[in-house]
Amino acid sequence: MRRVLTIAGSDSGGGAGIQADLKTFCAFGVYGMTAITAVTAQNTKGVDAIFPLPPSMVARQIESIMEDIGVDAVKTGMLFSEDIIRAVAQALCRWPVEYLVVDPVMVAKSKAVLLEERAIRTLVQELLPLAHVVTPNLEEASVLAGFPVQNLRDMEDAARRIREKGPRYVLVKGGHLPGNEVTDVLFDGKDFTYFSGPRIETPNTHGTGCTYSAAICALLALGYAVEEAVAEARRYMELVITHALPLGGGFGPTNHLAPLFLRAGLDPQEGGRCW
């Protein structure tokens, strides 16, 4: 079984972060492991509190996994602080991995800040050069590229600018653009690949960025090429958003195991036994 590590924050509401990543790994049949960077108190309405772990503890979690179990692919999510980013980068330099997916999480859907402003430079200088794929949304791409990303041409320009900072592939996600179609742009330093599909109208999209990057990471571990991994991850995202769960009073979570429930002939929103 392929081994996949997520380095991210814990979401007490279960829809994003470590919890979303593990559910996604299960859906793809890979063995998921975690290095928790911060504990959050949050629900579908927002983030109430963030408690970052000591950077040494984050690094030790990574090292413990590497020393014994090993990994086939790694993804990062919420890293929160400059010191945690540096500790993660140093650990990944000591234990190099072929496939590192960096989801540059900066702000939650509730607008809670998940990455300190002074940490952005450290993310760019120390982590992006290690990345196989980086997956910014429009807001994150704007910060990383240094200009507003407001249309498809901007997405292409941002992908070029971000790739100059070191990652092998840049996937700029277009979900925040208006319109009935959602287009993501993948850049490998030479060519652009475009992935488009109909917008699914639902407020229940908490954790979509975490889930998307976790799916790409799992598929890379399974041997998919990057273009194939993104295409397959998008198909997965269409299912988990279509069957998203109307829980709580804010942005409900996606339904990470919807494909398995459907295959078992069960209602994805009801769940239940499927083994």
The domains found in the chain, sorted by start residue, are: 3-263 (3.40.1190.20)
Q: How many residues does the chain have?
A: 275
The mean-pLDDT minimum among 11-25, 87-101, 126-140, 167-181 falls in 167-181
Of 122, 135, 205, 254, the active-site residue reads: 205
Is 209 noted as a catalytic residue in this protein? yes
Asked about 173 being catalytic, the answer comes back as yes
Predicted confidence (pLDDT) at residue 106 exceeds the cutoff of 90: no
How far, in Å, CA of 56 to CA of 61, rounded? 9
Tell me the one-letter amino acid at 193. Answer: T
User: Is residue 112 scored above 80 in pLDDT?
Assistant: no
Annotated active-site residue in 40, 135, 173, 217: 173
Q: List the single range of 19-23, 70-74, 170-174, 176-180 with lowest mean pLDDT.
A: 176-180
Q: Quick one: average pLDDT of 176-180?
A: 85
Candidate list 9, 17, 207, 252, residue with the active-site label: 207
pLDDT digits (tens, 9 = 90+) for 60-69: 999 999 999 9
Is 210 in the active site?
yes
For residue 274, what pLDDT is reported?
66
* Active-site entry in 209, 211, 217, 254: 209
Tell me whether residue 249 is one of the annotated catalytic residues: no
254 catalytic? Reply is no
Average pLDDT, the chain: 94
The answer to whether residue 207 is catalytic is yes
The C-alpha angle 158, 164, 166, rounded to 5 degrees, equals 115
The stretch 247-251 carries a mean pLDDT of 94
Residue 111 has pLDDT above 70, yes or no: no
Which residue of the set 76, 208, 211, 254 is catalytic? 208
Tokens of 74: 């790694």
